[in-house]
Each structure stands twice: as structure tokens, then as C-alpha cells.
Amino acid sequence: MNPIEPLEVTAFLLSYPADIRETALALRRTIYSVAPGSVETVHLPAKMISYSFARTYKDMLCVIMPYNGWVNLGFPMGSGLQYPQQILTGTGKRARHVKITGILQASTPAVNDLVREALKALTSRD
């Protein structure tokens, strides 16, 4: 699936370099390929795009956080993921992220599997 970027996402990403915009959009396609029914929300003050199944923090699947040299793919409940590949980083109580440095990395099997694992964890909660 190749979702059409809404104007809000396009406008948000315009302040970043072209390679960062393309990497963020590639991550967006990866997320939608795994979780096509997720709700996308641009959070301007936090400088991120979130993907969830309701507009609450506890239902958040992941976030795209662009920077000028890379894009973080964040998982608000990442510390609880049972994911064998050690690509998640961070020291927060719950949140973890993957630093994505290019468009090719955004659609690797490891990133796809991680989004899939996060979705599985989110949908299997009590």
C-alpha cells in the first residue's frame, strides 16, 4: 500500500532536508503496510507523526520523529517488546527508538518486523 500523504504531513515535513522527508515517508509506507487501519496524527509541538488505533497514548503504535540528519522511529511501549534483534535504543522507562539514517533502512525486514511486533503487542493487551 502506498498511502497518499495528506497536506498536513507534507507541510510538516517541508522544513526538513529532502532525504529526511523521503526517509520519513518511506517509514510511513512501512507502518501502513503493517497497520493499514492506524490513525495518523501530526503533533507540531512535539515535532512528530504518531500512529495509533485511538487518539490516546496507550493505543499508540509508533511515532516518526524527523531530525536534520536522521529519522527516529519511536515506540512508546518499546521497552516491553519481545523482539530478538537488538535495534531498539533508548533508556526511558517505556519508550525506545530506532535511528533510521536513510530511505533504504526504512523498509528493511528488521524494521518491518519491529513494527509488526509492536502491533502484535498492542493488539494482544488485556
Give percent of the chain with pLDDT exceeding 70. 90
Q: Residue 24 half-sphere exposure, CB side, CA atoms within 13 Å? A: 30
CATH fit for domain 7-123, picks 3.90.1150, 3.30.70, 1.10.3210, 3.40.50: 3.90.1150
Question: 73-76 — which CB contacts under 8 Å span 24+ positions?
Answer: 73/27, 73/97, 73/98, 73/100, 73/106, 73/111, 73/114, 73/115, 74/48, 75/114, 75/118
| pTM, full prediction | 0.90
Residues 62, 74: Cα–Cα separation, whole Å: 5
In tens, the pLDDT along 56-98 reads 677 899 999 999 999 999 999 888 887 656 788 888 888 999 9
In tens, the pLDDT along 43-54 reads 999 999 999 987
Binned at pLDDT 50, 70 and 90, residue 114 comes out as very high
Domain ranges of the chain: 7-123
